[in-house]
């Protein structure tokens, strides 16, 4: 079997080490809830508006409010400028983020309403969907939206034969055996430790997959601590 060429991360991070994180809540005082979450050079800002009556009326649900997520990357967030406006990728990320957050948000007390979550990425160095989910969960809590529990999210994966957490863009683009690295965004709920979202891009064996999920759960414990600390500090940013 060929030797593993990625035994040491170029950034000198340990294989299970998340990039340095920064989290702040209440960064947009005019919104109902807001937060920023950063990991390394990746930055996500989330703003929550609502609950408010949903229009047009035929979209309303008399049993519950609905959650609507809009994710977008700013044109200057990466080196080769991104065309502004929605695209297939941003539509997909908005949808999966909505699913992940909907599993913990309880809008049954707000029939016929909508809660809008806007996620913007001013700087992207991989892991933007998970950073966006971390920011959005804090912004929802900040807005006082009822949540059964929090969620924390991390990207895990495989580079050559090494299992790693929180791949950055350079690692995301590394090739092995003629294929790209494997990237698995995972969202974990804070109390029940359920997986609220899992996507898989690339190839991985079942035992390795199980190991990466354990790594994701451990990282999410650390991320949750950062999120909760930011929520405790909330008054200081307002
Ligand atoms: N990216 C880019 N241009 C694009 C989309 C993505 O340069 O149009 C970069 C950006 O740094 C992003 C990374 O590729 O963070 C990985 O993108 P992916 O679709 O895997 O989602 P993410 O890891 O950001 O959730």
Check whether 3 has a pLDDT greater than 90: no
Mean pLDDT of the 53-76 span: 97
| CA 175 to ligand 1 centroid distance, Å | 16
Mean pLDDT of the 211-220 span: 98
Check whether 176 has a pLDDT greater than 80: no
Closest CA to 225 of 152, 166, 136, 155: 152
In the predicted model, what is the mean pLDDT of the chain?
94
Check whether 92 has a pLDDT greater than 90: yes
Q: Give nearest CA residue, ligand 1 atom 12.
A: 126
Closest CA to 115 of 63, 47, 58: 47
pLDDT at 179: 67
Is 13 within the bounds of a domain?
no
What is the pLDDT confidence band of residue 25, given thresholds at 50, 70 and 90? very high
- 126 in contact with ligand 1, CB cutoff 6 A: yes
Mean pLDDT of the 195-223 span: 96
Mean pLDDT of the 184-208 span: 95
pLDDT at 178: 58
| CA 17 to ligand 1 centroid distance, Å | 20
Q: Give nearest CA residue, ligand 1 atom 20.
A: 126
Residue entry with tokens 């909907």: 102
| CA 11 to ligand 1 centroid distance, Å | 19
CA atoms in the 13 A half-sphere facing the CB of 77: 21
Distance CA 101, CA 150 (A): 9
Residue entry with tokens 């969960």: 137
| CA 126 to ligand 1 centroid distance, Å | 5
pLDDT at 181: 83
* Total H helices, total E strands in the chain: 4, 11
What is the pLDDT confidence band of residue 52, given thresholds at 50, 70 and 90? very high
Q: Are 176 and 159 in contact (CB under 8 A)?
A: yes
Is 32 within the bounds of a domain?
yes
Number of compact structural domains in the chain: 1
Is 14 within the bounds of a domain?
no
Is 76 within the bounds of a domain?
yes
pLDDT at 202: 85
Distances (CA, A) of 32 to 48, 83, 111, 118, 140: 6, 29, 18, 12, 9
Query: Which domain CATH number covers 138?
Result: 3.30.230.70
Is 6 within the bounds of a domain?
no
Is 3 within the bounds of a domain?
no
pLDDT at 118: 98
Atom nearest to 89 CA in ligand 1:
19
What is the pLDDT confidence band of residue 5, given thresholds at 50, 70 and 90? confident
Mean pLDDT of the 140-150 span: 98
Atom nearest to 42 CA in ligand 1:
15
Atom nearest to 127 CA in ligand 1:
23
Question: Residue 90: helix, strand or coil by DSSP?
Answer: helix
Is 5 within the bounds of a domain?
no
Domain ranges, residue 193: 19-232
- 41 in contact with ligand 1, CB cutoff 6 A: no
Q: Residue 181 is encoded by which pair of tokens?
A: 């690295």
What is the DSSP secondary structure assignment for residue 41, as one 8-state letter?
T
- Pick the more confident residue, 160 or 33: 33
- 74 in contact with ligand 1, CB cutoff 6 A: no
State in Å, rounded, how far the first CA of the chain is from the last one.
57
Mean pLDDT of the 12-27 span: 97
| CA 162 to ligand 1 centroid distance, Å | 21
Closest CA to 23 of 137, 114, 144: 137
Check whether 237 has a pLDDT greater than 60: no
- 200 in contact with ligand 1, CB cutoff 6 A: no
| CA 124 to ligand 1 centroid distance, Å | 7
Candidates 75, 89, 172, 183: which one to mutate for ligand 1, based on the most atoms within 8 Å of Cβ? 172
Is 141 within the bounds of a domain?
yes
Q: Give nearest CA residue, ligand 1 atom 9.
A: 126
CA atoms in the 13 A half-sphere facing the CB of 119: 32
- Pick the more confident residue, 176 or 229: 229
pLDDT at 175: 64
Distance CA 11, CA 169 (A): 12
What pTM, to 2 d.p., does this model score?
0.96
Q: Are 158 and 182 in contact (CB under 8 A)?
A: yes
Q: Are 167 and 183 in contact (CB under 8 A)?
A: yes
């Amino acid at each position: 079997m060929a030797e593993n060429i990625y035994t040491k991360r170029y950034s000198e991070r340990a294989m299970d080490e998340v990039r340095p994180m920064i989290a702040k809540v209440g960064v947009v005082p005019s919104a109902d809830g807001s937060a920023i979450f950063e990991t390394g050079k990746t930055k996500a800002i989330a703003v929550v508006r609502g609950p408010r009556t949903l229009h047009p009326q035929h979209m309303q649900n008399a049993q519950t409010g609905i959650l609507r997520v809009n994710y977008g990357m700013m044109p200057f967030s990466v080196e080769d400028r991104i065309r502004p406006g929605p695209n297939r990728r941003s539509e997909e990320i908005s949808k999966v983020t909505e699913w992940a957050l909907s599993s913990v948000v309880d809008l049954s007390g707000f029939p016929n309403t909508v809660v809008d979550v806007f996620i913007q990425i001013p700087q992207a160095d991989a892991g933007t969907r998970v950073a966006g989910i971390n920011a959005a969960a804090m912004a929802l809590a900040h807005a006082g939206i009822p949540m059964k529990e929090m969620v924390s999210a991390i990207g895990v994966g495989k580079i050559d034969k090494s299992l790693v957490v929180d791949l950055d863009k350079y690692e995301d683009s590394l090739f092995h055996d003629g294929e790209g690295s494997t990237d698995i965004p995972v969202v974990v709920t804070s109390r029940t430790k359920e997986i609220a979202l899992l996507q898989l891009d690339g190839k991985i064996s079942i035992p390795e997959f199980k190991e990466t999920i354990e790594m994701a759960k451990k990282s999410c414990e650390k991320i949750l601590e950062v999120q909760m600390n930011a929520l405790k500090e909330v008054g200081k940013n307002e």
